C-alpha cells in the first residue's frame, strides 16, 4: 500500500521552492499594484492599451522582468548542476570556472569593434569566450589531474586575468566602462518580451539535448571504469554536458550580463533539502534557482525605489555576487582534501646557480634599469636620454623605479615561499587572499574617512592583511591543509572583486579612488613609500636564508620534515606570516593583482635553480626585472597615456603562465 | 572635494568624463594653493582639464599642450581647438616626459590634481580652478573662476567681455521666450540617454538647471507633483533613473543632449516603454547638440540658444525623434 504522503525529499524541495516563490510573488504583486496606479489589471496583463503608460509598464517592463528572472535562474541552476556532475566538484559553477568572465569579456571586445549588436551573434561570441576560458582553466589544472582544488584555483586565475583585461580596455577605450562590471553587473531590466522568448527557446533546446545524454550522465556517478564497462561513452558525455552548461551560460550573459553564484547556490540548496540522485537534482535545481533569482530581483527592485538608493543603480548580478561569496566560503569544507603531494617537484633538474647564470641575471637587471631611466618615448619619438636629461626627471622616476623593483622582489619572495610551503604550483600571493584582504582594508579606510593619508592607508592595509592571515590560520588550526588555505584566499579575492564591482556600479563618489587602487598603478607612489618598501625588501632578502632550511625540509612532506627536527606547525605559521608581510607591502605599491608572484618562482626554477635558497634569490631578481620592465612598458606602450605597472605585468604574465603549464606537461609526458 | 557618481551602463560622453575624473583621483588635498603666475604673463600654458581649456580658448589663448585633445574636440566642440596641440597623457596621470618636453610657464589644474602638486611644481607654477563644477551655485562660481583665470593670464578685459556677452545672450533668449508663453507653459526635462533603459536627468546643482532657471523655464526635475519630491541628485547635479520615472509626467518637454548613438536610437525606437512615455507619444522630444554639462561660459551660451530652438521644435510637435 503506497503511502499517501509524498516522499520526504519531494516535500523538502517543494516546501523550499514554494516558500521562496511565495515571498517573491507577494513582492511582485506589490510592485504591480504600485505601477498600475489604478489602471486595469487584466488589460495590463494581457492586452495593454499603448496609450496607457501604466498598463504598458506592467506588460512590457514588470512581467518580462519576472519571466527573465525565472528563466535565468533555471538556466544557471541547470548549468551548475551539469558542471558539478561532470567534474565531481561541489564548487563548480559558471563563475568559479571562469565561463562568465570569459563570455562577458568576449562580448565586450566584440561590442567594442562592432558596435551594432547582431542578435544571434552575441550568443555565439559569448559561447566562444566562455568555452575558451573553461579550456584555459583545464589546461592550467591538467598537471594536477583536474583535482577539484586545482580547478577552482585555476578558475580564479582566469577570472582575475579577464578582469585585468577588461580594466585595460576601460583605461584605453573609455567607451567600454561596462567592462568593469565583469564581476556581476547583470541587470534584469527588461523592455518587451523579445529577450525572454529568445532565452526560453534556447533553454528548451538545451533541455531536449540533455534528455539524450541523461542516462550516460547518470552512469558517471558510479565511477569511470564502471561507466565505461556499462557502455557509456564517458568522454563524449562529459564534453556534451560541459558544452550544454557553457551554452546555457552564454544565453544568460548575452541577454542580461553576469549573474554569479546562482549555479552554486541552487545545487547546494537542492542537496541540503535532500535531492541526491541526478534526476532529482536535474528536476529541482532549476526550480530552486528560478525561485532564488526571482526573490533576489524583487528585493533589489524594492531597494532601488527606496530613498537612499534612488539616484543610483543596483544591478541584480552585483547582489548575487556579494551574497554568493560567503556561500562559497561556507561550502569550502565540502571540497575533499587532496593528497598532500599533489605536485611532484620533478622539474628538469637544473645545474643550480652557475656563474654564467648569475652574470646573466645581473646583466638582465642592469639592462632593465637602464631601460627604465634611459630609453623612452617623447613627443617626437624615441630617444635615449643623456645624463642631464635623466637628472631632470630623476625626482619623479627614481621613486617609481625603486617602488617597482621593491614590489617585484617582495612578490617573488612571497610567491616562492608559498609555493614551496604548500607544494602547489598555483600558489601565489594574489591567490593567497592576503593582498585582497589588504586592498579591502584600504577600501574600508577610504569609505570610513573619505580621504585617508598614506600612513592611514598603510595601517589599514596591514590590518586587512593581518585579519585575513588570522582567518586563514584559524581555518587551519586543527589540521593545516594547504589546499584549504588557498581556497580561503580564493574566497577573499572573490569578495574583493564583488565589492569593487558593487561600488563601481552603485555610483558612489569614492569609487574613483578605489578604482585607482585596484588597477595597480605605481603613479601615485610617493618617495616615502618607495623608500619604505625598499626598507622592507632588503631585510626580507637578508632574512630569507633563515627559512631556507625549513623549505628544503617541506619538500619531504610533513612526516619527513618533522622527523628531521623541523617544528612543522610553527614553521608553517612563521613562513605564512613572513609571506603575508611581504605581500602587504607589495599591495600598497602595485595593488592586489599582478602575476609576478606566480611566475617568478617558475621562471627561476626553469632557469635552473634547484635549492630553495637559490630559487628565492633568483626569483627575486626575476621578479624585480619583470616589474621594472612592466613599469617601463606601461609608460611607453600608449605614450603619453600610462598603463599601470601591475596591469601590464598581469596581461603579459597570463599567456606566459599558460605556456609554462603546457610546457611542463609536455616535459613530464 | 565631492566627486561625481558614474551611473551604470556608460555610453554617454559626459559620463566618460566623470569616470575619468575619478579614475585616478586619489590623494588628499594638501592645500588648494592658487599660485600666482610669474610676474610676466605666461606664454606656454598646459591645461589638464577640458572645461578649463574651453575657458582658456574663450579668453583668446591657445595651450601648448593639454590632456587628451581629441576628447575635447569630441565633447566640447566650441571654441575650436587648433590642430597640432600635443597630448600630455591621461587627465590625472600626465606624462612627465611630455611635460618636460613642453617646458610650460603655467599649469592649469583642477582640485583633483592636488595630490600631484608637489611633483608638478617642478615644471611651472600651477593655477587650480574647476571647483565650480561641484558648487551648489555653479554659474556664479564659473564667473568668479573665469575672472581669476583672466587675472593670471593678464587678460581681464576679455573676461569681462565674455561674461557680459554671456549675460546678453541669456537675456536675449529670455526676452524672446517670454514673448511666446505657450513655449514656457510646460516644464522641461534635460537628460542624457545613457542607453535604451536609463536616462541621466540634470537637476538641482547642475549648470543646465541654473540656465533653465535664468531663462524662466521650469525644470521638471523640481516638480513635486505625482508624489515625487524634488529629485535627489548627486554632487554633480544629475540623477541616473530608469525610463519609467518619466512615465508619471503627462505634460512635459524632453530635451535629449547629444550625441544620441545610432544603436541607442534604434533600441529606443523598439522599446515599448519609451514609446509609452507621454512626452514621446506627444512628440515633444528634441535632440540637442553636443554640449558639456560642466563646460564654461561659451558652452552655456550654446546651451541657452539650443534650448530656445528645441522648445520651438517641441511646440510644433514635429516627429524629430520618435
Could you please report the per-residue DSSP string of B46-66?
EE--HHHHHHHHHTT---SEE
Q: Say yes or no for a CB contact (<8 Å) between B276 and A642.
A: no
B292, HSE (Cβ side, Cα atoms, 13 Å): 26
d(CA B130, CA B141): 9
pLDDT score for B4: 34
Q: Is A58 exposed, middle or buried, given 0-12, 13-18 or 19+ CB atoms closer than 10 A?
A: buried
d(CA A537, CA A590): 14
Mean pLDDT of chain B: 82
Q: Which residue has the higher pLDDT, B245 or B224?
A: B245
What are the strands, taking DSSP E only, across B194-319?
A: 198-202, 238-242, 253-256, 285-287
Q: Does A371 touch chain B (CB under 8 A)?
A: no
Calculate mean pLDDT across residues B238-245.
81
Query: Residue B88's closest chain A neighbor by CA?
Result: A640
Highest mean pLDDT pick, A8-12, A445-449, B38-42:
A445-449
Q: Does A419 touch chain B (CB under 8 A)?
A: no
Of the listed ranges A78-82, A570-574, A606-610, B231-235, the least confidently predicted one is B231-235
Three state DSSP letters for A567-603: CHHHHHHHHHHHHHHHHHHHHHHHCCCCCHHHHHHHH
Q: Say yes or no for a CB contact (<8 Å) between B26 and A524.
A: yes
Q: Say yes or no for a CB contact (<8 Å) between A61 and B239.
A: no
Calculate mean pLDDT across residues B28-44.
55
Phi-psi region of B124 (alpha: psi -120 to 50; beta: other; left: phi over 0): beta
Q: Does A238 touch chain B (CB under 8 A)?
A: no
- Which among A583, A600, A593, A591 is positioned nearest to A656, based on CA atoms? A600
pLDDT score for B8: 38
Measured in whole angstroms, the distance separating CA B194 from the mean position of its chain's CA atoms is 15
Query: pLDDT tens digits, residue range A120-160?
Result: 678 889 999 999 999 999 988 887 778 887 888 888 888 88
Residues 6 or more apart whose CB falls under 8 angstroms from that of A415 comprise A427, A428, A429, A596, A597, A598, A599, A600, A601, A619, A623
- Cβ-based contacts of B248 with chain A (< 8 Å): 37, 53
Q: Does A439 touch chain B (CB under 8 A)?
A: no
CA A178-A179-A181 angle, to 5 degrees, is 75
For B314, the enclosing helix (H) or strand (E) is helix B297-315
Does B200 have pLDDT greater than 50? yes
Q: Does A388 touch chain B (CB under 8 A)?
A: no
The three grid cell numbers given for residue A16, joined into one nine-digit string: 523550499
β-partners of residue B65 are B46
Percent of chain B with pLDDT over 90: 44
Q: Say yes or no for a CB contact (<8 Å) between B7 and A507.
A: yes
A230, HSE (Cβ side, Cα atoms, 13 Å): 15
Does B195 have pLDDT greater than 90? no
| Helix residue ranges, H only, A423-510 | 429-432, 434-449, 454-475, 482-506
The three grid cell numbers given for residue A78, joined into one nine-digit string: 541547470
Residues 6 or more apart whose CB falls under 8 angstroms from that of B133 comprise B51, B236, B294
Query: pLDDT tens digits, residue range A316-330?
Result: 888 888 888 888 877
pLDDT score for B48: 93
Q: Are A591 and A646 in contact (CB under 8 A)?
A: yes
Does A5 have pLDDT greater than 70? no
Confidence band of A266 (pLDDT split at 50, 70, 90): very high
- Which among B103, B91, B20 is positioned nearest to B49, based on CA atoms? B91
- Which among A60, A30, A33, A27 is positioned nearest to A46, based on CA atoms? A60
- Interface probe for B, chosen from A311, A395, A450 (most Cβ of B below 10 Å), is A311
Query: pLDDT tens digits, residue range A214-261?
Result: 888 888 877 778 888 887 788 888 889 999 999 999 999 988 888 888
Confidence band of B118 (pLDDT split at 50, 70, 90): confident
- Which among A528, A493, A497 is positioned nearest to A515, based on CA atoms? A497
- Interface probe for A, chosen from B15, B88, B97 (most Cβ of A below 10 Å), is B97
Does A548 have pLDDT greater than 90? no
B16, B87, B275 ranked by CB distance to A174: nearest: B16
What are the strands, taking DSSP E only, across B29-174?
A: 45-47, 65-66, 106-109, 126-128
Does B183 have pLDDT greater than 90? no
The CA radius of gyration of chain B, in Å to the nearest whole number, is 20
3-state secondary structure of A623: helix
Q: Are A369 and A397 in contact (CB under 8 A)?
A: no
Q: Is A327 exposed, middle or buried, given 0-12, 13-18 or 19+ CB atoms closer than 10 A?
A: middle
Q: Are A263 and A79 in contact (CB under 8 A)?
A: yes
The CA radius of gyration of chain A, in Å to the nearest whole number, is 26
Measured in whole angstroms, the distance separating CA B50 from the mean position of its chain's CA atoms is 10
Confidence band of B19 (pLDDT split at 50, 70, 90): low
Query: pLDDT tens digits, residue range A63-95?
Result: 899 999 999 999 999 999 999 988 888 889 898
A54, A453, A513 ranked by CB distance to B25: nearest: A513
Calculate mean pLDDT across residues B306-321.
84
Query: pLDDT tens digits, residue range A619-632?
Result: 999 999 999 999 99
Instruction: Specify the pairing of strand B65-66 against strand B106-109.
Output: unpaired
3-state secondary structure of A637: coil
Confidence band of A386 (pLDDT split at 50, 70, 90): confident
Residues 6 or more apart whose CB falls under 8 angstroms from that of B194 comprise B7, B8, B9, B10, B11, B12, B15, B200, B240
3-state secondary structure of B148: helix
pLDDT score for B3: 34
Residues 6 or more apart whose CB falls under 8 angstroms from that of A584 comprise A434, A435, A438, A461, A462, A465
Calculate mean pLDDT across residues A566-576.
83
B21, B97, B277 ranked by CB distance to A512: nearest: B21
Calculate mean pLDDT across residues B85-106.
90
Measured CA distances, A652 to A97, A104, A594, A642, B299 (Å): 21, 21, 10, 16, 43
Query: pLDDT tens digits, residue range A19-54?
Result: 888 888 888 888 888 877 766 777 667 777 777 778
Where b means 16+ CB within 10 Å and e means fewer, A296-308 reads: bbbbbbeeeeeee
3-state secondary structure of B199: strand
Calculate mean pLDDT across residues A588-611.
84
Q: Which of residues 179-208 of A touch B (CB under 8 A)?
A: 185, 187, 189, 191-192
Query: Residue B122's closest chain A neighbor by CA?
Result: A395
pLDDT score for A509: 60
Residue for grid cell 599642450: B65
Q: Say yes or no for a CB contact (<8 Å) between A311 and B19.
A: no
The three grid cell numbers given for residue B112, joined into one nine-digit string: 583633483
Query: pLDDT tens digits, residue range A499-523?
Result: 777 776 665 666 666 666 666 677 7
d(CA B4, CA A667): 54
CA B19-B23-B24 angle, to 5 degrees, is 150
Instruction: Specify the pairing of strand B65-66 against strand B45-47.
Output: parallel
Task: For residue A39, give the DSSP letter.
Answer: S
pLDDT score for A214: 87
ipTM confidence: 0.76
3-state secondary structure of B218: coil
pLDDT score for A162: 86
Residue for grid cell 580596455: A169
pLDDT score for A387: 87
Query: pLDDT tens digits, residue range A287-336?
Result: 999 999 999 999 888 887 776 666 666 788 888 888 888 888 778 777 66
β-partners of residue A383 are A376
pLDDT score for A517: 65
Cα four-point dihedral sign B13, B17, B19, B20: positive
Cα four-point dihedral sign A412, A418, A423, A424: negative
Calculate mean pLDDT across residues A176-184.
44
Query: pLDDT tens digits, residue range A341-367?
Result: 444 444 555 677 788 888 999 999 999
pLDDT score for B10: 41
Mean pLDDT of chain A: 82
Neighbour tally for A397: CB within 10 Å = 20
The three grid cell numbers given for residue A631, joined into one nine-digit string: 613599469
Confidence band of B69 (pLDDT split at 50, 70, 90): very high
pLDDT score for A667: 58
Amino acid at each position: 500500500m503506497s503511502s499517501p504522503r509524498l516522499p520526504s525529499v519531494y516535500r523538502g524541495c517543494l516546501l523550499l521552492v514554494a516558500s521562496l516563490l511565495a515571498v517573491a510573488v507577494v513582492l511582485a504583486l506589490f510592485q504591480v499594484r504600485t505601477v498600475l496606479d489604478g489602471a486595469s489589471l487584466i488589460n495590463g496583463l494581457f492586452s495593454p492599451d499603448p496609450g496607457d503608460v501604466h498598463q504598458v509598464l506592467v506588460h512590457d517592463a514588470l512581467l518580462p522582468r519576472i519571466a527573465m528572472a525565472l528563466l535565468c535562474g533555471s538556466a544557471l541552476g541547470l548549468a551548475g548542476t551539469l558542471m558539478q556532475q561532470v567534474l565531481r566538484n561541489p564548487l563548480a559553477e559558471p563563475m568559479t570556472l571562469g565561463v562568465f568572465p570569459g563570455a562577458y569579456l568576449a562580448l565586450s571586445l566584440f561590442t567594442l569593434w562592432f558596435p551594432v549588436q547582431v542578435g544571434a551573434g552575441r550568443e555565439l561570441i559569448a559561447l566562444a569566450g566562455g568555452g575558451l576560458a573553461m579550456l584555459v582553466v583545464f589546461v592550467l589544472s591538467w598537471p594536477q589531474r583536474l583535482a577539484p582544488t586545482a580547478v577552482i584555483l585555476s578558475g580564479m586565475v582566469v577570472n582575475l586575468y579577464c578582469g585585468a583585461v577588461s580594466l585595460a580596455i576601460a583605461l584605453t577605450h573609455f567607451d567600454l566602462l561596462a567592462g568593469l562590471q565583469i564581476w556581476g553587473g547583470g541587470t534584469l531590466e527588461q523592455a518587451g518580451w523579445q529577450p525572454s522568448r529568445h532565452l526560453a527557446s534556447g533553454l528548451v533546446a538545451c533541455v531536449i539535448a540533455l534528455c539524450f545524454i541523461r542516462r550516460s550522465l547518470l552512469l558517471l556517478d558510479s565511477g569511470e571504469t564502471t561507466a565505461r564497462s556499462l557502455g557509456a561513452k564517458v568522454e563524449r558525455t562529459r564534453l556534451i554536458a560541459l558544452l550544454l552548461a557553457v551554452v546555457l551560460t552564454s544565453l544568460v550573459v548575452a541577454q542580461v550580463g553576469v549573474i554569479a553564484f546562482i549555479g552554486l547556490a541552487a545545487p547546494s540548496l537542492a542537496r541540503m533539502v535532500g535531492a541526491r540522485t541526478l534526476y532529482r537534482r536535474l528536476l529541482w535545481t532549476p526550480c530552486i534557482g528560478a525561485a532564488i533569482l526571482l526573490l533576489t530581483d524583487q528585493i533589489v527592485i524594492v531597494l532601488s525605489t527606496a530613498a537612499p538608493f534612488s539616484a543610483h543603480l543596483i544591478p541584480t548580478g552585483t547582489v548575487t555576487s556579494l551574497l554568493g561569496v560567503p556561500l562559497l566560503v561556507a561550502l569550502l569544507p565540502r571540497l575533499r582534501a587532496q593528497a598532500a603531494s599533489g605536485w611532484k617537484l620533478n622539474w628538469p633538474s637544473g645545474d643550480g646557480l652557475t656563474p654564467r647564470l648569475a652574470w646573466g641575471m645581473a646583466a638582465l637587471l642592469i639592462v632593465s634599469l637602464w631601460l627604465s631611466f634611459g630609453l623612452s618615448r617623447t613627443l617626437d619619438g624615441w630617444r635615449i636620454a643623456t645624463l642631464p636629461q635623466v637628472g631632470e626627471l630623476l625626482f619623479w622616476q627614481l621613486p617609481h623605479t625603486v617602488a617597482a623593483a621593491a614590489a617585484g622582489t617582495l612578490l617573488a619572495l612571497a610567491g616562492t615561499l608559498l609555493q614551496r610551503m604548500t607544494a602547489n604550483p598555483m600558489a601565489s600571493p594574489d591567490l593567497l587572499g592576503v593582498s585582497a584582504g589588504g586592498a579591502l582594508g584600504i577600501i574600508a579606510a577610504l569609505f570610513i574617512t573619505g580621504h585617508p593619508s598614506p600612513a592611514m592607508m598603510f595601517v589599514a592595509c596591514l590590518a586587512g592583511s593581518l585579519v585575513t592571515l588570522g582567518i586563514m590560520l584559524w581555518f587551519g588550526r586543527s589540521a593545516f591543509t594547504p589546499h584549504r588555505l588557498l581556497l580561503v584566499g580564493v574566497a577573499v579575492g572573490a569578495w574583493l572583486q564583488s565589492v569593487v564591482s558593487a561600488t563601481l556600479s552603485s555610483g558612489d563618489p569614492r569609487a574613483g579612488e578605489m578604482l585607482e587602487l585596484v588597477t595597480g598603478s605605481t603613479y601615485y607612489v610617493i618617495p616615502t613609500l618607495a623608500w619604505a618598501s625598499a626598507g622592507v625588501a632588503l631585510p626580507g632578502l637578508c632574512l630569507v636564508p633563515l627559512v631556507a632550511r625549513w623549505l628544503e625540509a617541506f619538500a619531504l612532506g610533513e612526516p619527513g620534515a618533522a622527523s628531521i627536527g623541523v617544528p612543522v606547525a610553527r614553521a608553517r605559521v612563521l613562513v605564512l606570516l613572513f609571506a603575508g608581510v611581504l605581500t602587504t607591502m607589495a599591495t600598497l605599491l602595485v595593488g592586489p593583482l599582478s602575476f609576478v608572484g606566480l611566475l617568478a618562482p617558475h621562471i627561476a626554477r626553469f632557469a635552473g635553480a634547484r635549492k630553495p635558497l637559490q630559487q628565492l634569490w633568483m626569483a627575486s631578481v626575476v621578479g624585480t626585472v619583470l616589474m621594472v620592465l612592466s613599469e617601463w612598458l606601461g609608460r611607453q606602450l600608449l605614450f603619453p597615456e600610462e598603463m599601470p605597472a601591475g596591469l601590464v605585468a598581469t596581461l603579459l604574465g597570463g599567456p606566459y603562465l599558460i605556456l609554462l603549464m603546457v610546457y611542463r606537461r609536455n616535459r613530464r609526458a | 572635494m565631492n566627486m561625481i557618481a558614474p551611473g551604470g551602463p556608460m555610453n554617454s560622453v559626459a559620463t566618460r568624463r566623470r569616470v575619468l575624473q575619478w579614475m585616478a583621483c586619489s590623494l588628499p588635498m594638501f592645500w588648494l594653493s592658487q599660485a600666482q603666475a610669474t610676474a610676466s604673463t605666461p606664454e606656454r600654458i598646459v591645461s589638464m582639464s577640458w572645461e578649463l581649456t574651453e575657458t582658456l580658448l574663450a579668453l583668446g589663448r591657445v595651450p601648448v599642450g593639454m590632456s587628451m585633445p581629441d576628447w575635447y574636440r569630441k565633447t566640447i566642440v566650441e571654441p575650436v581647438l587648433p590642430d597640432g596641440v600635443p597630448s600630455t597623457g591621461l587627465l590625472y596621470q600626465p606624462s612627465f616626459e611630455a611635460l618636460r618636453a613642453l617646458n610650460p610657464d603655467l599649469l592649469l589644474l583642477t582640485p583633483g590634481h592636488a595630490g600631484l602638486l608637489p611633483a608638478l611644481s617642478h615644471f611651472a607654477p600651477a593655477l587650480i580652478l574647476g571647483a565650480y563644477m561641484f558648487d551648489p551655485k555653479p554659474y556664479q562660481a564659473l564667473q568668479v573662476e573665469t575672472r581669476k583665470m583672466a587675472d593670471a593670464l593678464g587678460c581681464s578685459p576679455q573676461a569681462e567681455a565674455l561674461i557680459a556677452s554671456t549675460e546678453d545672450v541669456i537675456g536675449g533668449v529670455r526676452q524672446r521666450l517670454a514673448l511666446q508663453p505657450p513655449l514656457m507653459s510646460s516644464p522641461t526635462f534635460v537628460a542624457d540617454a545613457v542607453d535604451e533603459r536609463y536616462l541621466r536627468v540634470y537637476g538641482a546643482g547642475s549648470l543646465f538647471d541654473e540656465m533653465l532657471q535664468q531663462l524662466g523655464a521650469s525644470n521638471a526635475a523640481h516638480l513635486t507633483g505625482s508624489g515625487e519630491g524634488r529629485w535627489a541628485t548627486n554632487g554633480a547635479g544629475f540623477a541616473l533613473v530608469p525610463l519609467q520615472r518619466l512615465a508619471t509626467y503627462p505634460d512635459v518637454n524632453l530635451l535629449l543632449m547629444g550625441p544620441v548613438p545610432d544603436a541607442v536610437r534604434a533600441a529606443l525606437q523598439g522599446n515599448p516603454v519609451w514609446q509609452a512615455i507621454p512626452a514621446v507619444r506627444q512628440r515633444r522630444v528634441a535632440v540637442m547638440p553636443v554640449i558639456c554639462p560642466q563646460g564654461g561660459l561659451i558652452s552655456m551660451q550654446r546651451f541657452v540658444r539650443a534650448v530656445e530652438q528645441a522648445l520651438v521644435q517641441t511646440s510644433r510637435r514635429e516627429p524629430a525623434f520618435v
